[in-house]
Amino acid sequence: MLNELRLRDFRCFEAMTVELGPGFNFFLGANGEGKTTLLEAACVLLRLQSQRSTSLAPVIQLGKKAFAVRGDVDGHQLEFRYGGLRRSIRFDEVEQRTAGEYLRSARVVSFANSDLELARGTSEPRRRFLDFLGTQIEPSYRPALRTYERALRGRNALLKSGVARPRELAAFDHQLIMHGQMLERLRSNVAELISERAAAAYERISAGREQLRVRFAAGVSGNDFAQELEQTRADEIRLRQTIVGPHRDDLALTIDGMPAAQFASEGQQRSIALALKIAQAEAFAAAQQSAPLLLIDDIFGELDEYRRNALLDHLPTQSQKLVTATALAWRGQLTADSVYQLRDRCLLRAE
């Protein structure tokens, strides 16, 4: 459990300290007051990454050179400092050379209105969904992803230069293939881990009216990544980009056999997004024997009463929950451990 969160020079906050309870913790306030930033700070502290951005550079407060987040997690002190020239992580006041022990402290699931893109958007948010889950479950996932992405950037830079030759491209292929095959296998395992859970969650949310199917769709059409790279080399040189590989992986989502992005209503797409996130939380609880921290960012106002109740009924009961909202007209359904009001960048206890 995250007992305390401290941040400095983090987006809109020069300094902030928040004490948290074990169950529901609500942050109320108008748009632009920094509610989402508090949830982001919790994610950055626990996972060393943001659920809102692929880069941490925008998190640094304007005019400052670095940010710091610190917190108490089950009696352990975690601290992460990030700047343009240096980053450091400390676990119980000891600086860590690697992030392994630090990242074992807690798991995180984030719910936000942008989750709708999981159902109707491009493949990128679905890959990020798989990666956010995979890096928290399998220790080899993070290095495989990073090494593949480095090799892909180098290879694409060579292709974009317009002077790429087969021998020069081949210099990147070994790393690309080796770590790409590992990454594809890990993503396939993650998809298998959540597919039945997501289908069951969707069935509960939709009262059994439709069926959701979740299937991993690899960015390599066959089983031989190396062969496909060879076969597409002429097209790569012409298009100046790598056109096969895990950077094109996807999750195929269908409702009653029809592609969700094209045929599902907005209500169905919201149900799909909720089902995927519930499945993620359940997968963490099953794999780690501990409930994850849930970050729920201003989504209740966008849900009808039935979906809101379905979500509340199926969240892991043992999970600590940080929730943002502009108002709590439905608060009577819940028992909150802490309720805060944000006004003018100040955090006040609310009754």
Q: Spell out the domains of the chain, with CATH numbers in brackets.
A: 1-107+291-351 (3.40.50.300), 115-289 (1.20.1050.90)
pLDDT digits (tens, 9 = 90+) for 290-345: 789 999 998 877 788 788 888 888 888 889 999 998 877 655 566 677 889 999 88
Angle between helices 266-288 and 305-314 (to 10 degrees): 10
pLDDT digits (tens, 9 = 90+) for 30-64: 888 999 999 999 999 999 999 988 899 999 999 99
Owner of token pair 């942008």: 114
Check: CB of residue 214 under 8 Å from CB of residue 253.
Answer: yes
In 10 A of CB 341, how many CB atoms? 15
Write out the two tokens for 129. 């969904």
- 182: closest CA among 151, 227, 147, 230? 147
- 165: closest CA among 228, 232, 233, 245? 233
What residue ranges in 35-92 does DSSP mark as E strands?
66-73, 76-83, 87-91
pTM, rounded to two decimals: 0.91
State the Cα–Cα distance between residues 349 and 351, nearest whole angstrom.
7
Check: CB of residue 130 under 8 Å from CB of residue 187.
Answer: yes
Say what the pLDDT of residue 49 is: 94
Q: Measured on CA atoms in the order 297, 301, 304, 310, is the torsion positive or negative?
A: positive
